[in-house]
A and B are shown apart, each in its own frame.
Chain A
Amino acid sequence: AQKITQTQPGMFVQEKEAVTLDCTYDTSDQSYGLFWYKQPSSGEMIFLIYQGSYDEQNATEGRYSLNFQKARKSANLVISASQLGDSAMYFCAMSSGGSYIPTFGRGTSLIVHP
């Protein structure tokens, strides 16, 4: 069984500062993938970034980077230079083994203050 844990129900950050959203996972599979999604109040789930269990480098996509620590089973999302438009729910998800269907964490609500 696979499990995703997001322990921060809410986070606040000042505009232009960096913020880290935590995600830990548990799986017995050696092959797995980790995903982060952003969900603004409009409702659409927007794919942000992917990290594979065998990837040697941490994934980056623009202002988003994934701090992947395999031994600690953590896959934290780092957003640099926060913008007001970053205010949203953020979900961490994982697919593992032979299943292509991800398991989602409970999400973290991020509010960016001006």
Chain B
Amino acid sequence: DTEVTQTPKHLVMGMTNKKSLKCEQHMGHRAMYWYKQKAKKPPELMFVYSYEKLSINESVPSRFSPECPNSSLLNLHLHALQPEDSALYLCASSQVRGGATSTDTQYFGPGTRLTVL
């Protein structure tokens, strides 16, 4: 099973709202990722969790707050977002092996399309 699930599929929020994006995988992967993607552009890495600990934060504004409650779940808490934060948010998971092997393969969820009004 190579499934990563994300909820919700679509989200519309105002600039004063607080919302959360959720991601779940049951592949036993110990690395989980959040990406932001604008139309026709490659995904931009936001955060990486390795063994449930935040290992990479790509200078993301504090209005985005990640959380990894356990090895299967990843959340992204949103607060006071700006219209330019409207994008597709993708969650992914992979093994934590390195060495450039096929175990580095990332598996992505279907994404959450976020619109900030």
Which positions in A face B, CB cutoff 8 Å? Answer: 29, 31-33, 35, 37, 42-47, 50, 52-53, 89, 91, 95-102, 104-107, 109
Contacts and interface: CB of A to CB of B under 8 A. Distances in A.
Contact of A101 (B42, B45, B99, B113): B45
Interface of B: 2, 31, 33, 40-43, 45, 48, 56, 88, 90, 92, 94-111, 113
The 6 closest A-B pairs by CB, nearest first: A45-B108, A104-B42, A33-B100, A43-B111, A98-B98, A44-B110
A109 B100 contact: no
Contacts of B45: 101
Given A95-B98, A102-B106, 12 more contacts: A35-B104, A35-B105, A35-B106, A43-B111, A43-B113, A52-B100, A91-B43, A97-B98, A99-B98, A100-B95, A100-B103, A107-B40
A44 B98 contact: no
Contacts of A104: 42-43
A43 B44 CA distance: 14
A52 B102 contact: yes
A47 B40 contact: no
Contact of B40 (A31, A32, A33, A89): A89
A105 B102 CA distance: 18
Contact of A95 (B33, B40, B43, B100): B100
